[in-house]
């Protein structure tokens, strides 16, 4: 039988052998705080690096965007003049935004469509599937610098692969200086990007096709669905999560496009292939206009944050539902 003993601290008495609830709660809170402190200790190196190389850098670039500064000498405070110049009189900035839209629409969706078609063909029982999978995926693992050098020689109107084919076949349009024509240069670079990353789309679609139950395909065939109906009405909708993933990655890739443009055209001719990361590089390191480059970087950061929020709120929710 339990006896009642008064608590030493004057709190409510408890039966012998039963711990004081207040003491238990206090001990639990203390243990939780200790666990949290230990957790912070584990993540503190990453937090320090993130604070120094991301947060501090972002705030410093925002601060520098209000100055006319060459990166060496003391800057001159110009308030929002850099932003006014950007949105009112900088033709190259307008071209870079236009090219980003071209890049997003003309790379993401063709890569998705071509990757899907290749994946469907390679899972249909054609011979040499493993070999062709490797062949189509190889460009995705090649450095963009190497890709740029190779395609420079392919596009070269004087002794390049396309010009040689044009001479041999009489197809004069193949001898066009694709990378030097302001009207078609951006599309020539887009072709290279599609060529390089279609294999990555194919790989994701191959993984998605393996997740589709065979019973679904067999049931559709029993119901009389032909190949086209099977692909359009069953396989394509069931790969919705793959579509959304490729869209998300494509948007991120558009904002990070730099080495391929730099190697092929450097943003030329006459800013025809200029993308925002390349333009920031030119302003900062070629024209020594660090203040204006910082303002451009702030705009790029705002775009990235806005698109990330859009992805989380809209595409992210749909991605969860699609899965």
39-97 residue pLDDT tens = 777 888 888 898 888 889 889 999 999 999 988 888 899 999 999 999 999 999 999 99
Distance CA 162, CA 194 (A): 18
- How many independent structural domains does the chain possess? 2
Q: Tell me if 148 is assigned to some domain.
A: yes
**The two three-digit tokens of residue 139, written as one number:** 């460009």
| 127 and 247 both lie in a single domain | yes
Distance CA 181, CA 268 (A): 9
Q: Tell me if 13 is assigned to some domain.
A: no
For residue 315, the model assigns a pLDDT of 62
Distance CA 30, CA 25 (A): 9
Q: What is the mean pLDDT of residues 316-320?
A: 52
| 305 and 164 both lie in a single domain | yes
The yes-or-no verdict on residue 161 having pLDDT over 70 is yes
| 85 and 233 both lie in a single domain | yes
175-227 residue pLDDT tens = 999 999 999 999 999 999 999 999 999 999 999 999 888 898 888 888 888 88
| 172 and 46 both lie in a single domain | no
The yes-or-no verdict on residue 242 having pLDDT over 60 is yes
What's the domain range around 38?
19-55
Task: Indicate which CATH number applies to the domain containing 122.
Answer: 1.10.3720.10
| 156 and 33 both lie in a single domain | no
| 155 and 39 both lie in a single domain | no
Q: What is the mean pLDDT of the chain?
A: 85
C-alpha count within 13 angstroms, C-beta hemisphere, residue 22? 8
Helix boundaries (H) for 123-231: 129-137, 144-155, 161-169, 185-211, 214-222, 227-230
Q: Tell me if 74 is assigned to some domain.
A: no
| 115 and 217 both lie in a single domain | yes
Q: Tell me if 305 is assigned to some domain.
A: yes
Q: Tell me if 105 is assigned to some domain.
A: yes
């Amino acid at each position: 039988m339990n006896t009642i003993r008064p608590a030493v601290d004057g709190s409510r008495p408890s039966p012998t052998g039963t711990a004081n609830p207040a003491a238990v709660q206090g001990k639990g809170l203390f243990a939780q705080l200790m666990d949290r402190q230990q957790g912070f200790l584990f993540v503190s190196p990453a937090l320090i690096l993130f604070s120094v190389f991301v947060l501090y850098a972002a705030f410093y670039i925002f601060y520098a965007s209000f100055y006319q500064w060459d990166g060496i000498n003391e800057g001159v405070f110009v308030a929002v003049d850099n932003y006014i110049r950007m949105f009112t009189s900088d033709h190259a900035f307008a071209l870079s935004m236009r090219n980003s839209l071209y890049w997003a629409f003309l790379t993401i969706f063709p890569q998705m469509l071509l990757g899907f078609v290749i994946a469907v063909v390679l899972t249909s029982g054609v011979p040499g599937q493993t070999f062709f999978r490797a062949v189509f995926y190889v460009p995705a693992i090649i450095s963009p610098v190497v890709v740029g050098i190779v395609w420079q020689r392919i596009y070269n109107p004087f002794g390049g692969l396309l010009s040689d084919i044009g001479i041999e076949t009489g197809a004069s349009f193949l001898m066009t200086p694709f990378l030097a024509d302001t009207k078609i240069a951006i599309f020539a670079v887009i072709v290279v990007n599609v060529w390089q990353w279609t294999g990555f789309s194919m790989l994701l679609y191959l993984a998605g096709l393996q997740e589709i139950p065979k019973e679904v395909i067999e049931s559709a065939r029993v119901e009389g669905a032909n190949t086209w109906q099977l692909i359009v009405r069953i396989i394509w909708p069931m790969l919705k999560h793959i579509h959304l993933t490729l869209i998300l990655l494509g948007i991120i890739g558009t904002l990070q496009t730099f080495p391929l443009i730099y190697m092929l055209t450097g943003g030329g001719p006459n800013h025809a292939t200029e993308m925002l990361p390349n333009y920031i590089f030119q302003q900062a390191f070629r024209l020594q206009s660090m203040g204006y480059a910082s303002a451009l970087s702030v705009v790029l950061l705002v775009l990235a944050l806005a698109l990330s929020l859009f992805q989380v709120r809209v595409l992210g929710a749909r991605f969860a539902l699609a899965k």
